């Protein structure tokens, strides 16, 4: 053994440093000792890892699957969204499970048991007991003679009262607004409005692979909802019209070849969230949202497909500035161009106005907002309209999430339905750009050529140079004279803003009728206006600001 003092000092230091670890390992129970086989990599302890969670995470897609391009528009996506991966195992039920039976029973038993009163403290043995006070017995009061009264006369027989008539109970929002009459502010719309709207998710099929699925959720009152899902995106953002709708057809079915591919669904909201069930495709789809901002898409058997997010879209024609040669009809103030004008405190035009002047051929730009009326159906749901020359009506209606009909939004009323339903949810600002060319008459007043009408709804052509065979039912009689434009009063609180028009040249008499492609709205817009002919609108995701791209 080396007895050098330097070595002895060094060995004692090593022993002093290592002894606590060996002692701690000897004293600690075996269950708490750190063993090599118990050490796990960080990925295995991550709950978002596919192995730990029991399914592949949508945030970590397979490397070999590339993200498909955004449909139709390079400005559609504000933020890039990675496609989800196919889940290996079925996820849990779409809706949150109810409380366990034992937990429910405990809560119920706790609620039934009365609160225990504090017991009196026991007295010590040496403390004398307090004598009980004797109470004097109560003597019964002497009974007084009751004077007899004559029997009252029997009432004459009367007819039974008629049952009360049922009263139409108002459907009030939490702020006291009657939703049957309509809410014009988001804060008055109630909880169903928060769940309604447009959502985007990724869907998977063996034929298409990963592709967009646009979901439109529509509130129908009392916590019930209808929905439409569009494989490929949303109308105007990935989904386009398939054909020109025929004139005079009142309505078409959901499986019509004239419509884009779509699925219909329905559901009801509970305190745990909203579950929408779709019967198509063959294996079924379920959509769940709890907060009205995000959601999940499941297969019919409950297997998770992807996560969804709510979209807030904006028409690229919203806020379009009038060109130098335009006539501004309404800009928030009364400039003398409208009669019967009513302006709200917020500077918005109310229904029932009409232009002071008469107009023959023009391009009209208008922005409108429909109220939230979940209990209303059909033509009672936010109805108004633009009566061109008081003869031809372009319908205004809350048609969000519906199969188009010939009296819905952007329809030439009871004449031709729009080629694509471009309606946004209620309480969203929407745009119409209408090009109208009056019919031609000869010197004797006989019509020799029909009028023509083109309508852009939220920047997308939905009526393409349509021939106007006749006036709208309640409109003024056709004739060569110009008439004003009427903003219809149908009793629903529709609001308007940013109204202007530009006069156009009359149409040329044609020997053979043709249907040319409509001119872009940029023909009458200033260079500062933000316009695009292919995409509908760059959406604002989760109410984030979005800027147009030129």
CA distance 379 to 289: 29
Number of domains in the chain: 1
Let me know the angle formed at the C-alpha of 340 by 338 and 345, rounded to the nearest 5 degrees. 90
pLDDT at 127: 46
Assess if residue 302 is contained within a domain: no
Peptide bond into 443 cis (omega under 30): no
Assess if residue 159 is contained within a domain: no
Q: Which two tokens stand for residue 163?
A: 């049952």
The SS3 assignment for 53 reads helix
Assess if residue 450 is contained within a domain: yes
Annotate 242-268 with DSSP letters as a single string.
-SPPPTT--B--TT-TTSPP-EEEEEE
Half-sphere exposure of residue 14: CA atoms within 13 angstroms, side-chain side: 6
The C-alpha R_g of the chain, in whole angstroms, comes to 37
Half-sphere exposure of residue 249: CA atoms within 13 angstroms, side-chain side: 14
Q: Which helix (H) or strand (E) holds 17?
A: helix 5-27
Q: What is the pLDDT along the chain (550 residues), one digit of tens a residue?
A: 555 555 555 555 545 545 444 444 444 444 333 333 333 333 332 322 333 333 333 333 333 333 333 343 323 333 344 444 444 444 444 444 333 434 444 444 444 444 444 444 444 444 444 444 445 555 555 555 555 555 656 656 666 666 555 545 558 889 999 999 999 999 999 999 999 999 999 999 999 999 999 999 999 999 999 999 999 999 999 999 999 999 988 889 999 999 999 999 999 999 999 999 998 898 999 999 999 999 999 999 999 999 999 999 999 999 999 999 999 999 999 999 999 999 999 999 999 999 999 999 999 999 999 999 999 999 999 999 999 999 999 999 999 999 989 999 999 999 999 999 999 999 999 999 999 999 999 999 999 999 999 999 999 999 999 999 999 988 999 999 999 999 999 899 999 999 999 999 999 998 765 555 555 554 443 333 333 444 566 665 554 444 444 3
Assess if residue 532 is contained within a domain: yes
pLDDT at 171: 83
Annotate 370-437 with DSSP letters as a single string.
--B-TT--GGGSS-EEEEETTTEEEEE---TTS--BTTSTT-BTTTB--SS--PPPTTSEEEEEEEEE
Assess if residue 225 is contained within a domain: no
Assess if residue 432 is contained within a domain: yes
pLDDT at 287: 98
The SS3 assignment for 461 reads strand
Q: Which two tokens stand for residue 354?
A: 């009409």
Give start and end residues of each alpha helix (H) in 137-289: 191-195
Write the Ramachandran bin of 259: left for phi over 0, alpha for psi from -120 to 50, otherwise beta: beta
Annotate 59-122 with DSSP letters as a single string.
TS--TT-PPPPPSS-TTS-SS--PPPPPPSS--S-SSPPPPPHHHHHHHHHHHHSPPPPPPPPP
Instruction: Extract the runs of DSSP E, i.e. beta strands, from 135-244.
Output: 197-205, 209-221, 224-231, 234-235, 238-239
Domain encompassing residue 452: 327-537
The enclosing domain of 448 has a CATH number of: 2.60.120.560
CA dihedral 234, 237, 242, 251 (to 10 degrees): 40
CA distance 94 to 89: 14
Assess if residue 474 is contained within a domain: yes
**Residue whose pair of structure tokens reads 């806020």 in the numeric block:** 319
Assess if residue 170 is contained within a domain: no
Q: What is the pTM of this model?
A: 0.68
**Residue whose pair of structure tokens reads 């008539």 in the numeric block:** 165
Q: Which of 309, 295, 248 is nearest to 267 (CA)?
A: 295
Q: Which of 402, 172, 358 is nearest to 180 (CA)?
A: 172
């Amino acid at each position: 053994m080396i007895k050098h003092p330097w070595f002895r000092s060094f060995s004692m230091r090593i022993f002093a440093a290592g002894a606590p670890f060996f002692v701690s390992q000897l004293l600690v129970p075996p269950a708490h000792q750190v063993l090599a086989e118990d050490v796990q990599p960080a990925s295995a302890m991550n709950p978002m890892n596919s192995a730990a969670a029991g399914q592949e995470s949508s945030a970590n897609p397979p490397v070999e699957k590339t993200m498909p391009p955004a449909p139709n528009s390079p400005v559609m996506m504000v933020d890039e969204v990675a496609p989800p991966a196919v889940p290996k195992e079925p996820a849990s039920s779409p809706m949150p499970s109810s409380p366990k039976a034992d937990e429910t029973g405990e809560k119920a038993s706790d609620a039934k048991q009365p609160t225990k009163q504090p017991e009196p403290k026991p007295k010590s043995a040496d403390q004398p007991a307090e004598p009980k006070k004797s109470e004097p017995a109560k003597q019964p009061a002497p009974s007084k003679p009751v004077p007899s009264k004559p029997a009252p006369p029997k009432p004459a027989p009367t007819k039974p009262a008629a049952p009360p008539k049922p009263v139409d109970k108002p459907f009030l929002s939490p702020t006291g607004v009657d939703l049957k009459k309509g809410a014009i502010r988001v804060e008055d719309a109630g909880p169903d409005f928060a769940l309604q709207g447009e959502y985007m998710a990724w869907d998977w099929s063996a034929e298409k692979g990963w592709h967009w699925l646009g979901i439109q959720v529509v509130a129908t009152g009392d916590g019930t909802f209808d929905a439409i899902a569009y494989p490929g995106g949303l109308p105007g953002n990935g989904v386009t019209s398939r054909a020109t709708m025929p004139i005079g057809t009142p309505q078409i079915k959901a499986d019509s070849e004239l419509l884009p591919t779509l699925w219909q669904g329905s559901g009801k909201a509970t305190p745990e969230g909203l579950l929408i069930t779709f019967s198509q495709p063959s294996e079924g789809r379920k959509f769940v949202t709890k907060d009205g901002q995000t959601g999940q898409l499941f297969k019919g058997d409950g297997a998770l497909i992807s996560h969804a997010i709510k979209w807030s879209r904006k028409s690229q024609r919203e806020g379009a500035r009038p060109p130098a040669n335009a006539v501004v009809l309404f800009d928030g103030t009364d400039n003398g161009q409208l009669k019967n004008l009513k302006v709200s405190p917020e500077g918005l035009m109310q229904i029932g106005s009409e232009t002071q002047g008469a107009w023959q051929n023009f391009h009209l730009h208008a922005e409108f907002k429909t109220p939230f009326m979940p209990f209303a159906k059909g033509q009672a749901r936010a109805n108004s309209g633009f009566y061109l020359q008081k003869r031809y009506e372009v319908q205004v209606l809350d048609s969000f999430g519906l199969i188009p009909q010939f009296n819905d939004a952007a329809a030439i009323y009871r004449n031709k339905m729009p080629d694509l339903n471009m309606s946004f949810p209620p309480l969203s600002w929407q745009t119409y750009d209408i090009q109208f060319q009056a019919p031609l008459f000869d010197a004797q007043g006989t019509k020799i050529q029909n009028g023509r009408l083109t309508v852009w709804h939220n920047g997308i052509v939905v009526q393409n140079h349509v021939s106007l065979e006749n006036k709208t039912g309640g409109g003024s009689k056709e004739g060569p004279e110009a008439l004003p434009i009427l903003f219809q009063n149908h009793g629903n609180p529709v609001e308007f803003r940013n109204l202007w028009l530009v006069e156009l040249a009359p149409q040329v008499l044609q020997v053979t009728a043709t249907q040319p492609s409509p001119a872009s709205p940029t023909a009458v817009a200033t260079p500062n206006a933000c316009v695009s002919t292919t995409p509908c609108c760059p959406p604002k995701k989760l109410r984030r600001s979005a800027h147009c791209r030129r």
